[in-house]
Structure 1
Amino acid sequence: MKNINDSFLKGRAKSLKYTFNGAFLLLKTEHSIMTQSFIGVIFVALGFYFKITKVEWMFQIFGFGLILTAESLNTAVEKLCDFVHPEYHKKIGFIKDIASGAMTFAVISVLILLTLIYYPYL
């Protein structure tokens, strides 16, 4: 008889495999994710240079996590829309614009956050 815990752990391991595969695909194929990751690395270097506080690190990490999450979801929406309706369609364009707008909200929020973190060090 199969152990329930065994089955549960195998399922979680399989789920983790898919999540890491998805993250790798985004980093490998999406230029916006590559660019934002590079910008994140620059701000990590700035964080070490300016010796930002633990709380500032927490907010910075959260901010870049928000950006990468929003961009990943935006990419997923765009790919799904292109798959469902490859030709231009007004409603598909509207859906893509809304997803892109969500990304804009995330970027503006993180720009404000980074300004609040780094302005005192300048």
Structure 2
Amino acid sequence: MYFLLGFKNAFKGIYVSIKSGHNLRLQFVAGAYCMMLAPFFAKSRSEWAILILTISSVLALEVVNTALERMCDIIEPSFNKIIKAAKDMAAGAVLICSVASIAVAGLIFFRWDSLQQLLEFCRQERWYPLLLGILMIPSAIFMKNGKKCRNTKF
């Protein structure tokens, strides 16, 4: 029973992080689009594994950053240099992981033959670029809608 409770609490934590973290929502959408385009670019199981690990690492680190920031805000509501430094370090860790993820995306997604394959698929299957375009609307709404959650009760 405690095992299931742990999952429930973890999902609540992810939910609160998504609701309160604009960067997490942006990274979530970017990761989703990467996964929708990956079938054209990720040619091996290793590339799929690297892509999944990279996306999940950025998302997980952003959740940890959000948790640290909220905890720091509760511990010291007013400005504190040490708290600011801790928040900046956590944000720096997310930045390092994000830059690495951009490098991974560049290595996987920027291949001329795969791009040609995607373009040919889009010419034959007109629904796919239409779907990607239509999904931009809920993605934009998802990225915009968030709350500043300081003391969220579960």
The equivalent position to 1:47 in structure 2, one of 35, 38, 63, is 38
- Tell me the TM-score normalized by structure 2: 0.68
The equivalent position to 1:81 in structure 2, one of 72, 97, 110, is 72
Matches within 5 A, 1:28-107: 28-50=19-41, 52-107=43-98
How far apart in 1 are the matches of 2:41 and 2:81? 47
Q: Which runs of 4+ in 1 moved over 6 A?
A: none
- Tell me the TM-score normalized by structure 1: 0.84
Give how far 1:60 is off: 0.8
- Alpha carbons of structure 1 residues 95 and 12: separation in structure 2 relative to 1, 3 Å: same
Indicate the percent of aligned positions where both proteins have the same amino acid: 27
- The answer on whether the counterparts of 2:18 and 2:25 sit within 8 Å (CA) in structure 1 is yes
Amino acid in structure 1 at the alignment position of 2:104: L
Give how far 1:49 is off: 3.8
**Structure with more relative contact order (C-alpha pairs < 8 Å, separation 6 or more):** 2
Structure 1: gaps of 5 or more residues: 1-9
Q: Which structure has greater helix proportion?
A: 1
How far apart in 1 are the matches of 2:49 and 2:100? 15
Task: Say how many residue pairs are matched.
Answer: 113
The answer to whether structure 1 residue 110 and structure 2 residue 112 are counterparts is no
